[in-house]
Amino acid sequence: MTTFDDREHAFEAKFVHDADLVFKAEARRNRLLGEWAAGLLGKSGDEARSYALSVVTSDYAEPGEEDVFRKISADLSGQIDDAAIRAKMAELRQTARDQIMTEI
């Protein structure tokens, strides 16, 4: 193998690794967001875990995070405004990234 081939494989491996970390962080953020919203909705225990899982799976509806935002916004309608939800999403994104980075 040439040096060019070695570098190409290294870049591909890094891309795959980075994409995996982003996926894990987004899923973690969605779970944390679901747990937060479940608390606001008065859910606890298995009901809260089930709700958090529904938030995670709602992210598979379309690319991006708007599907998750719409679910949380609809579920918390009248309890909290959209700006607060987006702020919580941003906060939990960083929390999730920090958690994932400490696990590797």
Asked which of 18-22, 78-82, 88-92 is least confident by mean pLDDT, the reply is 18-22
Residue 28 pLDDT: 97
Q: What is the CATH number of the domain that holds 89?
A: 1.10.790.20
Distance in angstroms (rounded) separating the CA atoms of residues 67 and 22? 17
What confidence tens digit (pLDDT) does each residue in 8-44 have?
888 898 888 888 999 999 999 999 999 999 999 999 9
Structural domain boundaries enclosing 25: 3-103
| Paired tokens of 81 | 């405004």
Tally of domains within the chain: 1
Average pLDDT over residues 60-83: 94
Cα atoms in the Cβ-side hemisphere of radius 13 Å centred on 17: 8
What was the pLDDT predicted at 13?
86
% the chain with pLDDT above 90:
72
